[in-house]
């Protein structure tokens, strides 16, 4: 306090002031106030660096998560599933099973294809895991068949999934379209942020050597001789170099053909001066591979370019540069060339970021409005400045530690929005109170901050402690959600920095109270200079973007008018009369509660217990991630019988695509992409792979939520109900992308055993039981992953007869393989492109079953008919064999239809199957996995995290108050907040899920802050001012009422827009006001994906905090009184004094001087 304002303990108004020594200071705040110029420079740096950091932080829709899965894929064309299992999968699994830190190992063996998926623990370094897997695969390679392709080891990396698909089409030859697509592929891959571009849907060329079986038999030629001749002639052999005199000449024998037609002139045999050429037994054409897939956008064939970005790169910049290349190239392409972009994640990111940014602005407006109402313009400005400064500081830290701006991070910023001002409110309100007491600005800032520094540090630390255990959330779900605690810890730490360093300096420089004198004021010239500078920058801004800045000015004027004529008058009334009236009522309620302590505690316990009873009686159910998120994409999956060719599958897919147009809300469909021969899915871990000619997908992409006329869930139900009518020969299901990280199907039953026939029988029985029960109507896509038996021709070799002709099973099998499947003889190179040269029988022979009867095996010049050494028959073979941890397994799974809770349906399914599953044959067992397993693991972890958070909070409180009883009083707020959450879940009929659980954990750290500030001030009044217990409780409640209510209201209001799903696009309003006012429905609306995602957590925090705050102001003082009186009474009974001082002397809290122990003098 300055000497000119304090004379003999008197303030400027003549009132006596407390002694200086009894007022606390916080060294860091005092240091910042004494070095205020440095702090002002720091504010500028934080603002500039924060804005730059936000602009440069990479934006993406979902967090980048590391899925520790490694696939080992082996292709062995034409081999049956049983042979793939024994020849490939088992041998690889035997080696791979020795690797440590493998969570699960699953495999699929299908025709010509083996896929082993190894899921590692999340803590494993993926590069080390890859190296171990490659080493084990190398050890297994000698045991694999020689003609099988080498196993491919690859990891799942979400960055390697396309961020957009460019679908290119044109009314001209597909070969020209492919050349255009390849040219665009090269240009897009030149973008530095692009990892690569996948080209799909194009016809692949190859050189086909189609052998005439009759001619081959006539000339006595074997397949091996044709293959060997082409392989031996189509080569370039380096011959070294020759030195002649002083020169060196490179010697080479160029033999590679530049024209595939010249392959016909290759000599196969040259016996008796009569050479036999390739053209004598085969036709050579430069044609196309057999078509395995079709891709169409609408009804037009397309070639798709899948653009993949590099990890950590900005998806918005990558998308913009890709689109710029496409638009530029389109000007030079044939007139009918068009492209359409689907699955554009950059648009999703723009919409998501814009939506959450607007929610932040809406919350900010509500928070600032409340601050104006409670504190007035000047004090509200001191508090409000903490929001942008804390945000800017958070952006700097987020950018520095490499965290991207994604959905989880943006919601965390919204959740922290109201909490960012909590520290500032307490600091500013306390500094203002000291100014009113007569201290000068700098002393008021030092003393006001010092008095509350420890409690707000403790309050912030308790909030951080609530979130800290979630940083260690294991698994893929943990990686996905861990960005929430990380961001909140950063933002709350930033707000604490701002509250203790920046807010005191700003208050010391600019805060004033009515009637305060000796403050420098602007002269007329000073005001002219200030307003002139503002006008100068305003003119520059208007010239740079007239419409946007004019809109900002209009909004600023509107805000100023609303404040002047509404907020300020109402706020003035509230501060002068309204708050006092509320305080009178609060004081009377608190006095009654202190007089009726037992009744108050009983009422509180009843409220808590009744909330549990109400939740159990009106149980709204449980869920994992929110299930009512309206999807942007819907997939209609088509599966025809095993063995169907791709053309038949396409005919079914075309029928489905045509029926999609009958959707009642088809106007909401943005694009329809259909594929045949391959399925589209949003789950990167769904497996698949290999040729799937019997599968196809019709993918529907819907317009933005606010532009839809109908409901997507209703559209899904329409598709489910109408797609199977009059479509015979296919199974049709409707699915949506998973909500959150990939976790598996909601209904997922695994059955283990050794015999595939027995497993198949069990699987069929389970499906029958479910199909005959009413629960079947609540599921969609109920299926077993055991593929249907595929028709196959089994060639049985008579080994004795074969031995007589000196033939082996391998020789016979390879002859059949060369004839029917074909063999790559060599490569034809055309510039930078390379094409396979395939030797096989011509189509007329390969598509005729009788060819096997005409086929001969050549051995030492003799032709032995296949019928002499083998027989064959048509039978059904296994469609595929699945393993889990090297054990055969069948999985029965299903999605849950719209309108039903996944957990409720799963519980019903488990009840229906319980009797049958309990009676499985010996050696066969089962397990419920998929989403249920992930949910159980996540909830188990969150339960442990909640307990750890409570322990950390308790330890912090014990350390602050040096007491055990006071932390228990404060933790009562956490318990009462849970009652509020339970009432809220029932009231709003919201399922208790992951988001609500996170809300409860968040509340554990939030609600204790108010109780900390309240109890800390009670101790200050008792110790410093000597008030008795009752008066201290009442006075502390009245003084801390405003900051307690204000912090609770700001935290809840910051979440209100997201909780109720209110969306107002301020960015478009400022940037394009004409567009905004001509399309109000697109920019002001209720609901949306983000509201569905985060609404449950927002409502849990709002209801729980409101409930806990109301009880904190009453229950905490009552518990303080009861425990303190009980402590005194017990001490008096046990030791004859209220303060024995055995562990801690609390005499000063009772207004008594601390007694010094009396030392007895020694005799003598």
Q: What are the backbone dihedrals phi and psi of residue 497, each rounded to the nearest 5 degrees, phi first?
A: -60, -45
What's the pLDDT tens digit per position in 447-480? 888 888 888 888 888 889 888 998 888 877 888 8
Question: Six-digit token pair at 79?
Answer: 């081999």
Q: Give yes or no on whether 68-155 and 205-288+791-877 have one common fold.
A: no
Domain ranges of the chain: 20-61+348-516+596-623+936-1127, 68-155, 205-288+791-877, 528-577, 630-738, 744-789+878-925
Q: Name residues whose C-beta falls within 8 Å of residue 611's C-beta, 6 or more positions apart in sequence.
A: 978, 979, 980, 982, 983
946-971 b/e (C-beta count within 10 Å ≥ 16 → b):
bebbbebbbebbeebbebebbbebbb
pLDDT of residue 8: 38
Higher pLDDT, 363 or 448: 448
Higher pLDDT, 1162 or 129: 129
Average pLDDT across the chain, whole number: 81
The SS3 call for residue 1146 is coil
Q: What is the mean pLDDT of residues 483-508?
A: 90
Q: What is the mean pLDDT of residues 398-422?
A: 83
- Distance between CA atoms of residues 1033 and 1035, nearest Å: 6
883 pairs with which residues across the strands? Answer: 107, 888
- Distance between CA atoms of residues 412 and 937, nearest Å: 23
- Distance between CA atoms of residues 303 and 138, nearest Å: 37
Terminal alpha carbon distance of the chain: 53
Q: What is the mean pLDDT of residues 158-182?
A: 81
Q: What is the mean pLDDT of residues 416-429?
A: 80
Q: What is the mean pLDDT of residues 1121-1139?
A: 76
The Cβ of residue 187 has, within 10 Å, a number of other Cβ atoms equal to 16
CA neighbor of 695 nearest in space, from 687, 684, 685: 687
CB 368 within 8 A of CB 360: no
What's the pLDDT tens digit per position in 969-1010? 888 888 888 888 888 888 888 888 888 888 888 888 778 877
Q: What is the mean pLDDT of residues 378-392?
A: 84
pLDDT of residue 41: 92
Residue 13 scores a pLDDT above 50: no
**How buried is 536 (Cβ within 10 angstroms: 0-12 exposed, 13-18 middle, 19+ buried)?**
exposed
pLDDT of residue 877: 64
Tokens 């932080």, located at residue:
57
Whole-number Cα distances in Å, 1002 to 469, 946, 1154: 11, 9, 40
Q: What is the mean pLDDT of residues 60-71?
A: 77
The SS3 call for residue 1019 is helix
Angle at 329 between CA 327 and CA 332, to 5 degrees: 120
> What is this structure's pTM?
0.76
pLDDT of residue 393: 93
- Distance between CA atoms of residues 121 and 476, nearest Å: 10
Report for 134-138, 302-306, 532-536: range of highest mean pLDDT: 134-138
pLDDT of residue 1149: 57
In this prediction, what percent of the chain has a pLDDT beyond 70?
A: 91
What's the pLDDT tens digit per position in 1054-1077? 788 878 878 888 888 887 888 888
pLDDT of residue 394: 92
Q: Positive or negative CA dihedral for 216, 221, 225, 229? A: negative
Would you place residue 1148 in the very low, low, confident or very high pLDDT band (cuts 50, 70, 90)?
low
Q: What is the mean pLDDT of residues 357-372?
A: 78
Report for 107-111, 396-400, 690-694, 1143-1147: range of highest mean pLDDT: 396-400
Count of residues in the chain: 1164
Whole-number Cα distances in Å, 353 to 46, 313, 360, 434, 803: 22, 16, 10, 42, 73
CB 277 within 8 A of CB 264: yes
pLDDT of residue 494: 92
The SS3 call for residue 33 is helix
Report for 638-647, 815-824, 904-913: range of highest mean pLDDT: 904-913
- So what's the architecture of 20-61+348-516+596-623+936-1127 in CATH? Up-down Bundle (1.20)
Q: What is the mean pLDDT of residues 1111-1134?
A: 82
The SS3 call for residue 662 is coil
Residue 261 scores a pLDDT above 80: yes
Q: What is the mean pLDDT of residues 1037-1064?
A: 82
CB 136 within 8 A of CB 95: yes
Q: Checking DSSP bridges between strand 833-841 and strand 205-211, what pairing results, if any?
A: parallel
pLDDT of residue 362: 79
pLDDT of residue 490: 93
Residue 45 scores a pLDDT above 70: yes
Residue 19 scores a pLDDT above 60: no
- What CATH superfamily is the domain 744-789+878-925? Multidrug efflux transporter AcrB pore domain (3.30.70.1440)
Q: What is the mean pLDDT of residues 1126-1132?
A: 78
Would you place residue 687 in the very low, low, confident or very high pLDDT band (cuts 50, 70, 90)?
very low
Higher pLDDT, 248 or 497: 497
Percent helix, strand and coil across the chain, each to the nearest 5: 55, 20, 25
Domain 68-155, what fold?
Answer: Alpha-Beta Plaits (3.30.70)
Domain 630-738, what fold?
Answer: Alpha-Beta Plaits (3.30.70)
Would you place residue 92 in the very low, low, confident or very high pLDDT band (cuts 50, 70, 90)?
very high
In this prediction, what percent of the chain has a pLDDT beyond 90?
A: 6
On whether the 205-288+791-877 domain is CATH 3.40.50.2000, my answer is: no
Q: What is the distance of C-alpha 776 from the center of its chain?
A: 31
The Cβ of residue 668 has, within 10 Å, a number of other Cβ atoms equal to 19
Q: What is the mean pLDDT of residues 593-620?
A: 88
Would you place residue 22 in the very low, low, confident or very high pLDDT band (cuts 50, 70, 90)?
low
Q: Name residues whose C-beta falls within 8 Å of residue 1039's C-beta, 6 or more positions apart in sequence.
A: 433, 1017
Q: What is the mean pLDDT of residues 551-555?
A: 77
Q: What is the mean pLDDT of residues 15-26?
A: 54
Q: What is the mean pLDDT of residues 1024-1032?
A: 83
The SS3 call for residue 731 is strand
DSSP for 97-155?
TT-SSEEEEEEEEETTEEEEEEEEPTTS-HHHHHHHHHHHHHHHGGGS-TTSPPPEEEE
Residue 311 scores a pLDDT above 80: no
Higher pLDDT, 642 or 813: 813
CB 487 within 8 A of CB 394: yes
């Amino acid at each position: 306090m300055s000497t000119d304002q304090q004379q003999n303990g008197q303030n400027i108004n003549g009132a006596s002031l407390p002694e200086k020594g009894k007022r606390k200071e916080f060294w860091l705040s005092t240091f910042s106030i004494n070095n205020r110029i440095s702090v002002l420079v720091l504010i500028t740096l934080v603002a500039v660096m924060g804005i730059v950091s936000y602009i440069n932080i990479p934006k993406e829709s979902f967090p980048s998560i590391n899925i520790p899965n490694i696939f080992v894929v082996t292709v062995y064309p034409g081999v049956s599933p049983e042979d793939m299992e024994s020849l490939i999968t088992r041998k690889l699994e035997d080696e791979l099973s020795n690797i440590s830190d493998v969570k699960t190992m699953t495999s699929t063996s299908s025709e010509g294809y083996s896929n082993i998926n190894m899921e590692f623990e999340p803590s494993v370094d993926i590069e080390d895991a890859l190296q171990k897997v490659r080493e084990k695969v190398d050890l297994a390679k000698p045991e694999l068949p020689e003609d099988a392709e080498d196993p491919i080891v690859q990891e799942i990396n979400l960055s390697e999934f396309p961020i957009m698909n460019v679908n290119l089409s044109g009314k001209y030859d597909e070969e020209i379209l492919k050349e255009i697509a390849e040219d665009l592929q090269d240009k897009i891959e030149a973008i530095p942020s692009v990892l690569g571009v996948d080209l799909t849907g194009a016809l692949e060329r190859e050189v086909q050597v189609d052998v005439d079986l009759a001619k081959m038999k006539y000339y006595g030629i074997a397949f091996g001789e044709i293959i060997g001749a082409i392989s031996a002639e189509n080569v370039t052999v380096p011959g070294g170099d020759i030195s002649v005199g002083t020169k060196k000449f490179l010697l080479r024998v160029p033999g590679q053909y530049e024209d595939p037609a010249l392959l016909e002139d290759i000599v196969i045999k040259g016996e008796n001066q009569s050479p036999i050429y390739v053209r004598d037994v085969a036709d050579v054409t430069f044609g196309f591979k057999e078509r395995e897939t079709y891709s169409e956008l609408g009804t037009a064939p397309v070639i798709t370019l899948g653009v993949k970005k590099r990890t950590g790169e900005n998806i918005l910049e990558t998308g913009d540069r890709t689109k710029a290349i496409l638009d530029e190239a389109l000007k030079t392409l044939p007139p009918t060339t068009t492209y359409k972009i689907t699955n554009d994640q950059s648009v999703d990111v723009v919409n998501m970021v814009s939506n959450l940014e607007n929610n932040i602005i809406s919350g900010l407006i509500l928070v600032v409005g409340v601050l104006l109402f409670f504190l007035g313009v000047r004090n509200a400005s001191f508090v409000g400045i903490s929001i942008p400064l804390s945000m800017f500081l958070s952006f700097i830290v987020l950018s520095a530690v490499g965290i991207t701006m994604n959905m989880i991070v943006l919601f965390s910023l919204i959740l922290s929005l109201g909490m960012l001002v909590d520290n500032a409110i307490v600091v500013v309100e306390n500094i203002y109170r000291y100014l009113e007491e007569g201290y000068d600005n700098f002393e008021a800032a030092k003393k006001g901050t010092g008095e509350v520094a420890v409690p707000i540090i403790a309050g912030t630390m308790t909030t951080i402690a609530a979130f800290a255990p979630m940083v260690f959330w294991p698994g893929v779900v943990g990686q996905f959600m861990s960005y929430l605690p990380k961001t909140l810890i950063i933002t709350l730490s930033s707000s604490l920095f701002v509250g203790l360093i920046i807010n005191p300096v700003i208050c010391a420089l600019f805060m004033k109270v009515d009637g305060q004198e000796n403050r420098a004021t602007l002269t007329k010239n000073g005001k002219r200079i200030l307003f002139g500078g503002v006008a100068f920058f305003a003119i520059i801004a208007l010239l740079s973007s007239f419409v946007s800045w004019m809109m900002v000015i209009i909004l600023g004027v509107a805000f100023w008018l609303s404040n002047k004529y509404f907020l300020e008058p109402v706020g003035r009334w509230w501060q002068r009369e309204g708050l006092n009236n509320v305080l009178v009522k609060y004081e009377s309620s608190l006095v009654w509660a202190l007089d009726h302590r037992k009744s108050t505690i009983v009422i509180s316990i009843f409220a808590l217990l009744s909330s549990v009873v109400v939740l159990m009686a009106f149980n709204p159910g449980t869920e994992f991630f929110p299930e009512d998120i309206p999807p942007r994409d819907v997939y209609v999956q088509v599966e025809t019988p095993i063995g169907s060719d791709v053309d038949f599958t396409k005919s079914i897919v075309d029928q489905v695509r045509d029926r999609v147009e009958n959707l009642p809300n088809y106007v909401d469909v943005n694009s329809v992409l259909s594929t045949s021969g391959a399925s589209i899915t949003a789950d990167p871990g769904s497996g698949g792979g290999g040729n799937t000619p019997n599968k196809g997908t019709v993918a529907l992409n819907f317009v933005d939520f606010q532009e839809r006329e109908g409901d997507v869930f209703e559209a899904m139900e329409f598709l489910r109900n109408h797609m199977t009518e009059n479509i015979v020969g296919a199974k049709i299901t409707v699915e949506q992308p998973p909500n959150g990280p990939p976790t598996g199907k909601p209904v997922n039953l695994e059955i283990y055993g050794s015999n595939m026939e027995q497993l198949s029988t069990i699987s069929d029985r389970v499906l029958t039981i479910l199909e005959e029960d009413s629960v079947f109507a609540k599921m969609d896509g109920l299926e077993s992953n055991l593929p249907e038996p595929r028709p196959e021709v089994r060639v049985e070799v008579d080994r004795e007869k074969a031995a007589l002709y000196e033939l082996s099973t391998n020789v016979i099998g390879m002859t059949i393989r060369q004839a029917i499947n074909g063999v790559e003889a060599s490569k034809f190179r055309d510039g930078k492109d390379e094409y396979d040269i395939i030797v096989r029988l011509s189509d007329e022979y390969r598509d005729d079953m009788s060819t096997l009867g005409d086929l001969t095996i050549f051995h030492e010049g003799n032709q032995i008919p296949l019928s002499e050494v083998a027989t064959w028959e048509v039978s059904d073979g296994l469609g595929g064999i699945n393993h889990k941890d090297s054990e055969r397994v069948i999985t029965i799974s299903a999605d849950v239809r719209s309108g039903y809770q996944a957990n409720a349906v799963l519980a019903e399914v488990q009840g229906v199957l319980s009797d049958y599953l309990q009676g499985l044959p010996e050696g066969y067992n089962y397990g419920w996995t998929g989403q249920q397993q992930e949910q159980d693991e996540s909830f188990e972890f969150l339960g442990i995290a909640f307990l750890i958070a409570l322990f950390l909070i308790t330890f912090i409180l014990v350390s602050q108050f040096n007491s055990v009883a006071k932390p228990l009083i404060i933790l009562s707020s956490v318990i009462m907040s849970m009652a509020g959450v339970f009432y809220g879940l029932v009231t709003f009929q919201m399922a208790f899920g992951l988001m609500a659980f996170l809300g409860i954990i968040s509340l554990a750290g939030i609600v204790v802050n108010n109780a900390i500030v309240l109890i800390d001030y009670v101790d200050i009044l008792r110790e410093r001012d000597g008030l008795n217990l009752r008066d201290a409780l009442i006075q502390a409640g009245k003084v801390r009422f405003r900051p307690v209510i204000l912090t609770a209201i700001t935290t809840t209001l910051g979440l209100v827009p997201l909780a109720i799903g209110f969306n107002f696009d301020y960015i478009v309003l400022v940037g394009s006001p004409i567009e905004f006012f001509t399309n109000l429905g697109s920019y002001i609306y209720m609901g949306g994906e983000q509201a569905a995602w985060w609404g449950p957590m927002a409502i849990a925090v709002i209801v729980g905090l409101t409930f806990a705050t109301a009880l904190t102001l009453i229950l905490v003082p009552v518990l303080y009184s009861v425990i303190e009186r009980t402590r005194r009474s017990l001490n008096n009974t046990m030791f004859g004094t209220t303060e024995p001082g055995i562990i801690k002397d609390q005499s000063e809290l009772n207004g008594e001087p601390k007694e010094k122990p009396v030392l007895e003098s020694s005799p003598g």
